[in-house]
Amino acid sequence: MTRRLFQPIALGPYTLAHRVAMAPLTRSRAGQPGDVPTAMNAEYYRQRASAALIISEATQISRQGQGYAWTPGIYSEQQVQAWREVSTAVHDAGGLIFLQLWHVGRVSHPSFQPDAGLPVAPSALPVPGKTFIVDENGNGVWGDVPVPRALETAEIAAIVEDYRKAARNALKAGMDGVEIHAGNGYLLDQFLNSNSNQRDDRYGGSVENRARFLLEVVAAVADEVGAERVGVRLTPMGRFMGMGDDTPQATFGYLVAALNQWNLAYLHLVEPAMVGTVKDEDFDPRWDAIIAQLRDTWNGVLILAGGYDAESAEQALNAGRADIIAFGRPFLANPDLPRRLHDGLALNTPDPTSFFGGDQRGYVDYPFHT
């Protein structure tokens, strides 16, 4: 009997050969100056083209949207042309790739911002976290995040247009679609969550107001490239970078129901047990309940990510918890992960010291299984 993990599935206009997707993974290896993908980045993605779907590393939609050193953008012509080399490499190897659209909001540093200004956020609140910056010697280091400034209401429309332009650029770069990153404590997630959004305008207060920014972004991006080429990533009940919501079931339930109107390619949820890249073993029963709730609410294809292995992925698919499983860390060290999972082959162990920044080591030199 064919395991469900290796059965085909339709996603938007595409038919995926199986259900092992590659989750978005920040690697901080874009070329400088200009945060431009390189031939090494194209090789990295080409090696992993056997994924049912590659979701690219988070890619900033504007200079303002950047919060980590050496992450790629999709707002300049040079970046667009460089991403085309990546998409061509993936397609030539038989793969599909969606580009993840990213604005970090408050999780940034003046060194990344236009005119060295403060990062932007829904509200001017301290950020319990650090970001990856370049020190005076040109080295990547973890640095403190300053208290951001609150966006003016009139500024939000321009950011929505930045998302629209980024989506247009992604398809111009040959991408098969885009994923709107609305989780992990970044800008759209900051607006969603009540503890990071203390606004009193039309983007704050009620669930409907806090969801408004994301829904405006989805409307713009779907209008630009077609809803069937758009996915959305959420982290319900996420705690990374200080996230938290007073009524998560109501907030995310409302949002997912509203997303149904577009018939998007997929919804991508991160298991609430994940805090950034770490799995919290102190299990809260509400985590399981909210995923089940959103699964029931969502009318389309659901991707789940968060610490899965072959066995737990199969269980989640058989239980109807998800339609596709996105693997993150296992793909770092195993470019041929789908084959290894299918055949029960041993996995390479990733080297954490090479996760962020660096050269080929720990990036394109992991061996394929012979």
Q: Which residues are catalytic?
A: 186
Look at the block and give the residue holding tokens 């911002």: 113
Whether residue 131 contacts residue 108, with contact meaning beta carbons closer than 8 Å, is answered with: yes
Look at the block and give the residue holding tokens 């490239």: 225
Helix 156-172 vs helix 207-225: crossing angle, to nearest 10: 30
Whether residue 166 contacts residue 74, with contact meaning beta carbons closer than 8 Å, is answered with: yes
Q: Which helix (H) or strand (E) holds 353?
A: none
> How far is C-alpha 317 from the geometric centre of its chain's CA atoms?
21
Q: Please report, for residues 1, 111, 140, 342, the alpha-carbon distance to residue 115 in angstroms, rounded to integers and kept in the order given.
A: 60, 9, 21, 50
3-state helix, strand, coil in the chain (%, to 5): 35, 20, 45
Q: Which helix (H) or strand (E) holds 212?
A: helix 207-225
Rounded Cα–Cα distance for residues 97 and 88 (Å): 10
Cβ-based neighbours of 243, under 8 Å, separated by 6 or more: 185, 189, 190, 193, 195, 196, 235
Query: Nearest 5°: CA angle at 313, between 307 and 319?
Result: 125
Direct distance between the N- and C-terminal alpha carbons of the chain, in angstroms, rounded to an integer: 25
Whether residue 5 contacts residue 313, with contact meaning beta carbons closer than 8 Å, is answered with: yes
